[in-house]
Structure formats: structure tokens, C-alpha cells
A and B are shown apart, each in its own frame.
Chain A
Amino acid sequence: MMDAVQKRLLEEVADLHKVPEGAYNIRANGQMAGRNTTANIDIVSKEDVSGMDIHIKPGTKNESVHIPVVLSQSGIKETVYNDFYIGEDADVIIVAGCGIDNCGGEDAEHDGIHRFYLGKNARAKYVEKHYGSGEGEGKRILNPGTEVYMEENSVMEMEMVQIKGVDSTERKTIAKLSAGAKLIVHERLMTHGEQSALSIYEVELNGVGASADIVSRSVARDTSYQKFDSRIIGNVPCSGHTECDAIIMDKAKILAVPQLEANDVDAALIHEAAIGKIAGEQIIKLMTLGLTEEEAEEQIINGFLK
């Protein structure tokens, strides 16, 4: 049974108020707290390392897999390997996420390594939320590693959100796309206090007509630090776009490093990066609508990260 803190974390990272429908695996403080498989989706624990293999049968449609992780004990440090095999023509939603509540003095760390193998014409939407809470001095650390291998004409849409409470994160995502495959990434990030967040993408477009669109929106407050390092490599006729749009506040620091590498004359690659503070006129406009300066700031940030 999960306690109240774990349930709250589950709500934050997976919008789950109760046990989800469909396939799921809930991991709490390093242990399996619940699992369900379906006729089309099988979840098998790995034997050599912590983690599991998730097999989604070819042609599976409109099913979902939830694999939330919650940590509510100080001092836990774990690395988990999850591999997703998404069969040809399948169309599924995968909801992952990690919530850490650290009330103790020791660090709590979860490093999730997710590998996705998408078969031909498969489609997946991957939603990942990270959340930290707790008053303890121990740090809340999340280092997700994501690898995406996409066969012909597969589509992967990734939504990664980390809005609150994670002290240190280093996220690395790599993707290799075959012909006609399409990768869409929306990342939303907010750091505050002394937090630091590194987000690294390396996307290889290896098949004709492959495309990638990687968009990050972030807000850095207080003395936090963010680095966004996104690299798209076009090896064939393909198209790629990467964008980092950041609001900087207080004494925060942001480094944006978009990189493009074209190894084919028909690789069309674009990058955009913008870092700036909240425009004074935006605050004034919302103040003329009756908000205080602080309320105006919150509205602008909430909208930006929506």
C-alpha cells in the first residue's frame, strides 16, 4: 500500500488519483508497488539490472502504459533501465514520471534510463513529468537518459516537464531516425533556488525524409543554472528544427547551445535560441488589468510554460 506522500507524488507526476487503467507499473522507494499487463502490453522485470522490458504488440491501438516512480525515503539512490518495444503500426501513450519527496538529510536520486524501439509506422506519445518536494536538506536528484530508435515512418512525440523541486538534473536524450520517421519534443523546465538543470539532445536523421522538431521553453529563477544543448545531425535529405526559448530572472544563468550538422546538401536544418527577461510592458499590461506585479509575473510564467 502506498502512503499519503507517495499518493501525492503520484498525482503530481502522472495525474493519477487512483490505480490507472490499462498496463502499468508503479515503483515506490525502489520496490514494485503494483503492476498490470494487458492482452497487448506485457511488462517483464529485468533479471540482470533493475528495470523492465515493456513489449507492445504490433497493431496495438489506443492503449496506454503508466510507469510512475515515487521516492519518499531519504538516502535512496537507484538506476533503473526500462526498454520499450513498440510493435509495427501500434499507437500508444506512455506516461512516465518521477516524484521525489525528500524530508531527510541525505540525497535521494533516481536515474531512469529509457530506451524506445519503435517499429515501422508505430506511433507513441511519451509524457514524462518530474517533481520534487520535501523540506529536508538532502538533495532531490533526477538524471534521465532517453534513447529513441525509430524505424521507417514511425512517429514519437515526447513531452517532458520539470517544473518544481528537483535540485539537480542532467537529462540526455539521443534519437536515431530512419526514413520518414518523425520526432517531436516539447520540453518545459523551471528551475529555482540553487537548482541546476542540463538538457542535452543529440538527434541523428539517418533516413530520407526524417524530421525532428525539438522545442524547449524554460524559466530560470533565483540563482539557478540551466544549460540547453541540442544537436541535430542531418545525414540525408531531411528536416530538423531546434528551438530554445528561455525567460531569465533574478540572478539565474542560462546557456543555450543549439548545434546543427548537415552532412547532405538537402538536409534543411534550423535552430533558434532566445533568452530574455519578462518584458516590462507585459507586466504593465497585466497590471492595468488589475494584477499586482507579482501576480502578473506568475501569470506570464504559467502561460509561457503551459
Chain B
Amino acid sequence: MLELKNISFEVAGEDVQKEIVRDISLTIPAHKFVVITGPNGSGKSTLAKLIAGIEKPTSGNIYLDGEEITEKDITQRARLGISFAFQQPVRFKGLEVVDLLRIASGRQLSAGDACEYLSEVGLCARDYINREVNASLSGGELKRIEIATVLARESKLSVFDEPEAGIDLWSFQNLIQVFEHMQKRNRNGSIVIISHQERILNIADEIVVVVDGRIADRGPKDKILPGLLGTPSARELCLRQTRKGDGR
């Protein structure tokens, strides 16, 4: 279980301090699938980074299973069981997919183990295991590999920052199945996804709506989702999808 207590995060602007996250208190219960949504610039991704330790809060406290982790760095939080999937997966010249999976799992992976993680994200292991994680991989492939590294960690808490960003609609359709599958099996403890995608919102147990750095609404999916349809974030989503559709 993850608890955020009165978390705020400010960055120094030109003249004034800008508050990106304002006094957010939130509990992510164990074995729940929680989607954090909201308009662009509302502070969702920052919130995800604060959980992973990539950013440190200006004030407030973070607890994982009752233990305070506010001052712990990225590595320490990772070792305590927090995983983070990047919005823009990082490329590495020379490191192969199997290397990342091995680092992620923290053990010598057999080819069979590595295959299992890759199959779960819909990649044929044989074709990918020795591919370099470099620019030769498409956005969709990188995204799946990024998710596979998180699966390989078998964490208490997995945070996915906008998994739909930067991939085409076709890849996204497939990605949804990956999350549906994860949600069903949910062996990875709690899952937090930052997303605007209705189809991802639709498989959530709980939805948290963040607007302007604050929690505007939260609750079970059935209660929150109907109210979201027709809101600015949903409209924005529609526009984006239309633009993508035009471009293809």
C-alpha cells in the first residue's frame, strides 16, 4: 500500500515558485488498479515521478507499506518494490533486451523466463531477446519492452506514465490488451497508470482525477468515469485521436 500525505512539489519559475503538485493526499491500496487522469499539465506525470523518487517533494511524506520513503532515492525505492515505466522509454546503444530484463529481474534469466515476459507484452521473444534497445526499435516496440522490464521486476507497486504517449493507434490497441491481461492476473501488486485513454480508464478499479495539481475527484470507476466523458480531458483525447487518424 502506498500513501501520499500532503505532497506538494514546486519548481522555480522566472520570478515565482510554480506549484505543480498541491497538497495531494492519496492512498493506493494493495492489489488495486488505479488510473490517475486529468488534463495536460495537471501534474499527473510529476506525481508519478514523485512516487518513483525521480523528483523529491517540496513538502509532505510518502509511505510504502507503512515505511516512510520520502527521503529514499530511486534505487532504494526500486529495491523496496516500486517500479516505473517511462512515458518516453530510454534507448541504450549496445544494451540488449535480455540485458534490461536481467537487470530488472535482478537474476540470471533463462531464455525461457525472458520469453515469458516478452510474450506477456505481445512480442515474439525469439525476435527481440538479442535486439539492442536502440533507435532500430519502433515506439510501440520500445513501449512493450519498457512494460516487460516492469513485469520482470514483479513489484509491489508499478507506475506507468502515459503508456499511450508516442505510439500509434494500432500499437495502442494491442497495448490495452497487455494492461487488461495484467489487470486480470494482477500478480504485480498495485498498478498505477497515468493516462487520458478512455479504454485504460475503463479497466480501472479506481480513478483519480487531478486538475491543476490537486485531486478534483476520486472513486470507483463506475462512479467517476461517466462524469469524465464530455470534460476537457476527454475532448482533448478525442481531438488527438482524430488528428492521428487524419495523418494515417
Contact = CB atoms under 8 A, between A and B. Distances in A.
Interface in B8-65: 52, 54
Of B73, B93, B100, B104, most A-chain CB atoms within 10 Å: B93
B94 A305 contact: yes
Contact of A290 (B78, B93, B96): B78
A299 B99 contact: yes
B93 A284 contact: no
Given A287-B73, A304-B93, 7 more contacts: A285-B90, A287-B74, A289-B100, A289-B153, A299-B103, A302-B94, A304-B95
A245 B134 CA distance: 14
Contacts of A15: none
Given A284-B54, A303-B99, A291 B92 contact: no
A299 B95 contact: yes
Contacts of A306: 94
A300 B95 contact: yes
A279 interface: yes
Interface of A: 217, 245, 279, 281-282, 284-293, 299-300, 302-306
Interface centre among B54, B92, B96 (most CB of A within 10 A): B92
A178 to B, nearest CB: 33
Contact of B103 (A217, A291, A293): A291
B183 interface: no
Given A290-B106, A290-B153, A291-B75, A300 B100 contact: no
B95 A288 contact: no
A291 B99 CA distance: 13
A290 B75 contact: yes
Interface residues of chain A: helix, strand, loop or mixed (majority): helix
Nearest to B79: A290
A29 B103 CA distance: 42
B84 interface: yes
A300 B92 contact: yes
B70 interface: no
6 contacts: A279-B90, A288-B54, A289-B100, A290-B78, A302-B94, A304-B94
B35 to A, nearest CB: 20
**Residue in A217, A282, A288 with the greatest tally of chain B CB atoms within 10 Å:** A288
Nearest to A274: B93
From B52, B75, B99, residue with most partner A Cβ within 10 Å = B75
Contact of A289 (B54, B73, B78, B93): B78
Contacts of A285: 86, 89-90
The CB with the most chain B CB atoms within 10 A, among A281, A289, A292, is that of A289
B190 interface: no
Of the listed residues A281, A285, A286, the one surrounded by the most CB atoms of chain B closer than 10 A to its CB is A285
Nearest to A306: B94
A281 B78 CA distance: 15
Pairs A-B, 10 closest by C-beta atoms = A303-B94, A303-B95, A287-B74, A290-B78, A285-B90, A304-B94, A288-B84, A289-B104, A287-B75, A281-B90
A191 B90 CA distance: 26
Contacts of A279: 90
B93 A303 contact: yes
A293 to B, nearest CB: 7
Given A289-B103, A289-B104, A289-B153, A284 B74 contact: yes
B83 interface: yes
A305 B94 CA distance: 7
Contact of B92 (A288, A303, A305): A303
A250 B74 CA distance: 23
B94 A282 contact: no
B149 interface: yes
Nearest to A302: B94
Nearest to B133: A303
A238 B55 CA distance: 52
Contacts of B149: 289
B104 to A, nearest CB: 5
Contacts of B104: 289-290
Contacts of A282: 90, 92
Contacts of A284: 54, 74, 90
A295 to B, nearest CB: 8
A188 to B, nearest CB: 10
Given A282-B90, A303-B95, A304-B93, A288 B103 contact: no
Contacts of B83: 288-289
Contacts of A291: 75, 103
Interface in B126-183: 149, 153
Contacts of A287: 73-75, 78
A24 to B, nearest CB: 31
A281 B100 CA distance: 14
